[in-house]
Chain A
Amino acid sequence: MTEINPFPEQTAEGLAAEVAEVNRAAREDQAFIAYLTEGVPNSSPEFDDTGFLDRFKTNLDSFFDLRYGA
């Protein structure tokens, strides 16, 4: 029985390059997922209540300008 090659143009080098490309893309995906989910450094300061209120009040007018028009 004759074996049918579904990819007659595919050479061994081409196949290897394709596999390498798939592996590279998978590594990039993993790095991106890791960026979103893990390894985040703990560089933020504690939430500052007073600072928050002051900044909230200071920027409120420009927020409303943006929202409802000046």
Chain B
Amino acid sequence: MTDPKTLRGDDFFDAPADEPIRSKEFLEKCDRRVEVFAKAFEEFRDRLYARVRAKQGGGHASGLHLNTAILRYAVERYFTDIDFERKRHRCGLLNGYRQAAYTLKWLIRLRPIQISLRHPDFLTANEDFALHAAITMLGVKPEALRSNWAYLAYALRHGTLDETLLMALAATLNPELAKGAK
């Protein structure tokens, strides 16, 4: 029997004792995800600017910036959580609704989009971006949120970001992903 004094936290989850937390693979998958989110942000920003310009009848729109250092940290925290969950559940992959829940959690908690212009359409840019990324991961259309968007955004902005509740929310949006869960 293992001496309890020599146990480390990871030993409870069958992690290899010599596995570094920030392995090369870990850093590479973080790089890839940051790149994907940065491209997604550019599209998000340009379309939002286009809307603002259309609303004000032309002119210039600016004020949204992606802080890649914060995004990088959010992605690292996301994968740390995901890897921990995988060990905890002893599985190779996590269901999509769990991935969506952790994406929501870290993008909203760390807020990588910075707003330099006080425009009403920009104020919830982080919540909008995170929600859209999450429902895209869930594979559901935005219409699934219907008129509940404002309530959801309010809850995400002011409420407690509890992983289990976010997972329940994600599983409710796409029950197919949670099908077969015991």
Contacts of B145 in A (CB 8 A): 66
Bound CA span A60–B168, Å: 24
* With contact pairs A49-B32, A53-B40, A63-B132 given, residues A42 and B91 touching in the complex (Cβ less than 8 Å): yes
Question: Which stretch, B6-14, B18-26, B108-116, B174-182, touches the partner chain A?
Answer: B174-182
Q: Could you tell me if A42 and B94 are in contact, using CB atoms closer than 8 angstroms?
A: yes
Q: B157 an interface residue at 8 Å Cβ cutoff?
A: no
Q: Could you tell me if A41 and B180 are in contact, using CB atoms closer than 8 angstroms?
A: yes
* With contact pairs A42-B91, A44-B94, A59-B142 given, residues A64 and B47 touching in the complex (Cβ less than 8 Å): yes
Q: Mark A28-70, 1 if CB is under 8 A from B, else 0.
A: 0000001111111111111101001101110111111111100
Tell me whether chain A's interface is mostly helix, strand or loop, or mixed. Answer: helix
Contacts of B66 in A (CB 8 A): none
* Cβ contact of A35, chosen from B36, B93, B143, B182, cutoff 8 A: B182
Q: Could you tell me if A37 and B164 are in contact, using CB atoms closer than 8 angstroms?
A: yes
Q: Could you tell me if B43 and A57 are in contact, using CB atoms closer than 8 angstroms?
A: yes
Question: Closest B-chain residue to A34, C-beta based?
Answer: B182
Bound CA span A57–B46, Å: 11
Q: Could you tell me if A49 and B48 are in contact, using CB atoms closer than 8 angstroms?
A: no
Distance between B153 CB and nearest chain A CB, rounded to angstroms: 9
Q: B73 an interface residue at 8 Å Cβ cutoff?
A: no
Question: Closest B-chain residue to A66, C-beta based?
Answer: B142
Contacts of A53 in B (CB 8 A): 36, 39-40, 43
Q: Mark B143-166, 1 if CB is under 8 A from A, else 0.
A: 101100100000000000000100
Question: Closest B-chain residue to A61, C-beta based?
Answer: B47
Q: Could you tell me if B96 and A44 are in contact, using CB atoms closer than 8 angstroms?
A: yes
Q: Could you tell me if B93 and A44 are in contact, using CB atoms closer than 8 angstroms?
A: yes
* With contact pairs A62-B143, A68-B121 given, residues A43 and B180 touching in the complex (Cβ less than 8 Å): yes
Distance between B84 CB and nearest chain A CB, rounded to angstroms: 14
Between-chain CB contacts (< 8 Å), 9 pairs: A41-B95, A41-B181, A42-B95, A43-B95, A44-B93, A56-B132, A57-B43, A59-B132, A63-B132
Q: Which A positions have Cβ atoms within 8 angstroms of B?
A: 34-47, 49, 52-53, 55-57, 59-68
4 new A-B contacts, CB < 8 A, other than A53-B43, A66-B143, are A44-B93, A44-B95, A56-B44, A59-B142
The 10 closest A-B pairs by CB, nearest first: A39-B182, A63-B142, A44-B96, A42-B91, A42-B93, A44-B95, A49-B36, A56-B136, A56-B40, A40-B181
